[in-house]
């Protein structure tokens, strides 16, 4: 038997020993699944049992004693406890003067290769997470025969100690629950599923802050063949293995099926149920009986067990505990938003228990007196409303609107695509109205998605919107669909207007005009005939085709999930089949294939995107959005002149379309037409002077041309407009890296990671370490970046370069460079004229000492972008490594003349020999003088 499989069989055997004969058979069926070989291995252990000593948890070495110092750094204070994988001690970090927790492996775990890898993975996974509600990991050490993780010490109590069979008040439970959801949302955003969420793994510190612990059986969901840590694939689970604690397992986890973030949502629901009722949602006399209850039974409603539970909270718990993952909250971020709303209402006193009894009977005389007072108040209010246009709250003259995700009432999966599609439809329609209402600016739906905005307040803080449109969709009996639309002031979170629509499924005949008519009325817009034509242009006369189009838009809204792109394509295909002349459906199909290309980098998707965009243009040449889509696809193929023509056509149709101006500017930029690009960027800024996305794109344009002082004010404005925008701080940090302002860069990057640990921020931080010759630190940062965005060729190239210059990991560099080249070639196949891609590929080939390929790629890059400072810098790297010193010096001079940053040239390891050349020093002196 393979050692790893033998160890896995032993774990199943030891667990089965704790059960009686009746329970054991069912457990083994679940644990071994369809793996007949594994079942035979487990059965053989019953016939020839291993030594009893193997069942006794113990360390593989003497336990550290109080006062003992490990690794010349950690002084043991006391033993805190033990768990399934290790023993935890409290210790003092002598270097940093702080208290830490040290987690040591048990002997049974350390002998198990799979469990050992899981222990190491726990450290790697947790070190990649940076959130106030997740226990931080500081270090992993293998010293003096001890293998341990140093992590944050969290004084306080475990959640199970706080519950202790008592129901928490709703306010207290919600304060904890929101923090738990925030921590899970952060982990899920990094591609990590906990898989063992339970009260015993949740700490509440002395200040009431939640900390999620023990990601020891966590699962990475985003790495593919490339895995993590330099391309080494890591699999921590075995088919048929059940990991986790029975009472909090999701049904799919109990059946040993593949799990994702929604499994944690189920466990969250079980924990929250226990918090608000004082008892478990699923209980049995044994683990197997508990699993059976999870698979077959429904828990008693929380409000029935504990009458003080608000009905809204009861519904959230019930939705978390759905057997079907599709019917739960799909993300912890969505769950967090729902909990925050209930928490706010509960703390304000607006939310009451589900079982609140009727008040005592009030004397008739008091009722009449109260009614008289209310009547006078009503008259006064009505008079005030009449003087204010019959609406109590005024609508601001300047309207910057963000359209937010609609709530799917009841969590019906059949409703979700409709909810998401309505968001896109309202956003797109409002955008078409901008040309008729000068004071109207609509935040692009893509920006709302990108920043993960789900609340009106966040739309104001992060996107600068002063108004938000929210809503809900509820599917009733008989196919009736009830739609609620709200207009909200983002500063005060006041609901200014409300409108409702009732329509009949499945054709939704009332939506095309009904939704926009309601929204326009709430905004106090009078839709003139030309405005109405603009909104409805390209629509269909076939209601069923519109219904499929809406579903497709809803799926495409979350194009970050590959399966949603396929669902969108299927819906748009049905829409086009029902109405072949439906222009917007064909244009949306083009965008869906473009998103698929961005995900897969396959030429077939790009070809189909172009085919459907061409069809849309042929059907109706008078729609600006159709030409913008075509321009985007042409630019993606490197066909800059045709792309420019499309954007100019869009601007002829809609001169105030900022998206078209930005597309035109970026295409001029890519074609090397710098003056035209800047003019187009300035026009976009004139149209949207307070739009952070426009300012960011202009800043990136200057950045790519090494015009760093010109880029800085734009990046600074982005930070000022969106102070909670992690990417904005990361961009500013990356800029300061190029300017050689190391301390400023580190501050911005740490700020970015504290908000959200994005791949860009980790990559920039890794670059700062790389340029400071701290290659091991650079590797750690670049590895975290590749885990978050595994398909990004640049991140893998950065990681390979850090491996290359490190002392102990240089052997990983060649394989990682080849992986980066495999990813980048897919992009080059689609856009062979992209100079940045060619230049990066050239440096990777140079590192692999393939001079012929390196020279070929860099020559193409220089031909495509002769005035690009970054391309000239990469050419210097290529030629110096190819022992072409004269050409390398020529390229350094060209890069410096075009404004490339001297600090990077002065620190790049491949140029170490060149920097000793007197001619290089002369160039530098001339530059400094």
Integer Cα distance of 316 and 300 in angstroms: 14
Q: What is the DSSP letter of 64?
A: P
Q: What are the tokens at 643?
A: 């792309």
Contact by Cβ (8 Å): 902, 929: no
Nearest to 59 by CA among 94, 96, 102: 102
Strands 219-220 and 192-193: antiparallel
Catalytic-labelled residue, pool 112, 196, 264, 855: 196
Find residue 78's DSSP bridge partners.
90
CB-count exposure of residue 929 (10 Å: 0-12, 13-18, 19+): exposed
Active-site residue flag, 196:
yes
Integer Cα distance of 92 and 64 in angstroms: 13
Integer Cα distance of 310 and 836 in angstroms: 56
- Please provide the distance, in angstroms rounded to a whole number, between the alpha carbons at the two ends of the chain: 72
Q: CB-based contacts of 492: which residues, under 8 Å, 6+ apart? A: none
Find residue 313's DSSP bridge partners.
none
Integer Cα distance of 858 and 839 in angstroms: 5
Integer Cα distance of 696 and 692 in angstroms: 6
Integer Cα distance of 739 and 906 in angstroms: 12
Q: What is the DSSP letter of 210?
A: E
Rounded (5°) CA angle 545-549-554 = 150
Identify whether 443 is preceded by a cis peptide bond (ω within 30 of 0). Answer: no
Contact by Cβ (8 Å): 539, 429: no
Integer Cα distance of 469 and 911 in angstroms: 54
Integer Cα distance of 711 and 698 in angstroms: 7
Q: How many CB atoms lie within 10 A of CB 752?
A: 26
CB-count exposure of residue 38 (10 Å: 0-12, 13-18, 19+): buried
Q: CB-based contacts of 917: which residues, under 8 Å, 6+ apart? A: 885, 889
What are the catalytic residues?
196
């Amino acid at each position: 038997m393979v050692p790893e499989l033998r160890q896995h069989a032993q774990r199943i055997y030891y667990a089965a020993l704790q059960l009686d004969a009746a329970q054991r058979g069912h457990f083994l069926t679940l644990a071994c699944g369809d793996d007949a070989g594994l079942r035979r291995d487990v059965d053989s252990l019953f016939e020839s049992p291993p030594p009893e000593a193997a069942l006794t948890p113990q360390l593989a070495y003497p336990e550290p004693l109080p006062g003992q110092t490990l690794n010349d750094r950690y002084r043991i204070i006391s033993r805190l406890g033990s768990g399934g994988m290790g023993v935890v001690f409290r210790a003092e970090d002598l270097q940093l003067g702080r208290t830490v927790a040290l987690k040591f492996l048990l002997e049974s775990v350390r002998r198990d290769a799979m469990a050992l890898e899981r222990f190491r993975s726990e450290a790697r996974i947790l070190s990649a997470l940076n959130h106030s509600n997740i226990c931080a990991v500081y270090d992993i050490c293998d010293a003096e025969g001890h293998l341990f993780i140093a992590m944050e010490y969290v004084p306080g109590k475990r959640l199970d100690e706080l519950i202790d069979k008592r129901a928490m008040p709703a306010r207290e439970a919600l304060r904890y629950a929101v923090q738990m959801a925030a921590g899970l949302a952060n982990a899920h955003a990094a591609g990590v599923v906990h898989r063992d969420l339970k009260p015993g793994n949740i700490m509440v510190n002395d200040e009431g802050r939640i900390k999620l612990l023990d990601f020891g059986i966590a699962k990475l969901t985003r790495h593919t063949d490339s895995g993590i840590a330099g391309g080494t694939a890591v699999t921590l689970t075995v088919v048929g293995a059940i990991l986790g604690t029975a009472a909090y397992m999701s049904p799919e986890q109990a059946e040993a099926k593949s799990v994702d973030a929604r499994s944690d949502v189920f466990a969250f629901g079980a924990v929250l149920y226990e918090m608000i009722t004082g008892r478990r949602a699923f209980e049995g006399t044994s683990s197997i009986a508990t699993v059976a209850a999870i698979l077959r039974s429904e828990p008693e409603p929380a409000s029935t067990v504990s009458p003080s539970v608000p009905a809204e909270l009861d519904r959230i718990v019930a939705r978390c505990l759905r057997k079907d993952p599709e019917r739960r909250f799909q993300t912890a971020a969505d769950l967090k938003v729902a909990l925050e709303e209930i928490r706010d209402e509960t703390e304000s006193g607006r939310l009451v228990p589900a079982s609140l009894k009727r008040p005592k009977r009030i004397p008739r005389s008091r009722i009449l007196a109260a009614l008289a007072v209310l009547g006078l108040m009503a008259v006064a209010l009505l008079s005030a409303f009449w003087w204010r246009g019959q609406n109590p709250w005024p609508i601001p003259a300047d309207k910057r609107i963000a359209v937010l995700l609609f709530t799917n009432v009841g969590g019906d999966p059949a409703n979700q695509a409709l909810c998401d599609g309505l968001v896109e439809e309202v956003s797109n329609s409002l955008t078409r109205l901008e040309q008729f209402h000068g004071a109207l600016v609509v935040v692009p739906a893509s920006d709302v998605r990108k920043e993960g905005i789900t609340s009106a307040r966040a739309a104001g803080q992060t996107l600068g919107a002063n108004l938000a449109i929210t809503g809900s969709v509820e599917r009733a009996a008989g196919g009736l669909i009830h739609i609620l639309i709200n207009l909200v002031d983002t500063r005060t979170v006041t609901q200014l207007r409300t409108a409702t629509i009732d329509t009949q499924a499945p054709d939704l005949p009332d939506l095309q005009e009904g939704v926009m008519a309601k929204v326009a009325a709430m905004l106090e817009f009078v839709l003139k005939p030309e405005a109405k034509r603009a909104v409805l242009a390209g629509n269909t006369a076939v209601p069923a085709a519109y219904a499929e189009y809406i579903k497709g838009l809803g799926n495409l809204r979350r194009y970050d999930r590959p399966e949603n792109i396929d669902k969108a394509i299927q819906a748009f295909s049905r829409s086009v089949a029902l109405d072949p002349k439906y222009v917007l459906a064909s244009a949306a199909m083009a965008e869906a294939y473009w998103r698929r290309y961005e995900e897969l980098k396959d030429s077939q998707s790009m070809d189909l995107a172009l085919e459907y965009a061409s069809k849309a243009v042929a059907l109706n040449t008078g729609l600006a959005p159709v030409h913008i889509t075509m321009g985007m696809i042409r630019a993606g193929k490197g066909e800059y002149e045709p792309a420019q023509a499309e954007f100019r056509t869009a601007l002829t149709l809609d001169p105030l379309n900022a998206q078209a101006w930005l597309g035109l500017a970026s295409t001029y930029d890519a074609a090397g037409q710098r003056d035209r690009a800047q003019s187009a960027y300035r026009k976009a800024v004139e149209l949207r002077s307070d739009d952070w996305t426009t300012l960011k794109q202009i800043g990136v344009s200057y950045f790519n041309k090494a015009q760093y002082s010109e880029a800085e004010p734009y990046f600074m404005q982005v930070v000022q407009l969106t102070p909670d925008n992690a990417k904005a701080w990361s961009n500013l940090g990356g800029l300061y890296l190029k300017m050689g302002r190391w301390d400023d860069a580190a501050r911005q990057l740490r700020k970015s990671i504290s908000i959200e640990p994005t791949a860009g921020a980790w990559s920039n931080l890794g670059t700062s370490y790389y340029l400071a010759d701290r290659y091991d630190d650079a590797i750690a940062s670049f590895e975290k970046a590749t885990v978050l965005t595994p398909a990004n060729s640049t991140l893998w190239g950065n990681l390979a370069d850090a491996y290359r210059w490190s002392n102990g990991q240089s052997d990983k560099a060649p394989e990682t460079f080849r992986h980066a080249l495999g990813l980048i070639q897919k992009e080059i196949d689609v856009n062979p004229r992209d100079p940045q891609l060619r230049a990066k590929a050239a440096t990777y080939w140079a590192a692999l000492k393939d001079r012929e390929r390196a020279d070929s790629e860099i020559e193409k890059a220089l031909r495509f972008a002769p005035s690009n400072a970054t391309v000239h810098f990469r050419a210097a790297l290529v030629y110096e490594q190819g022992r072409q010193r004269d050409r390398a010096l020529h390229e350094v001079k060209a890069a410096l003349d075009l404004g490339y940053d001297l600090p990077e040239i002065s620190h790049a390891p491949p140029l170490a020999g060149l920097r000793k050349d007197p001619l290089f020093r002369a160039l530098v002196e001339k530059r400094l003088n």
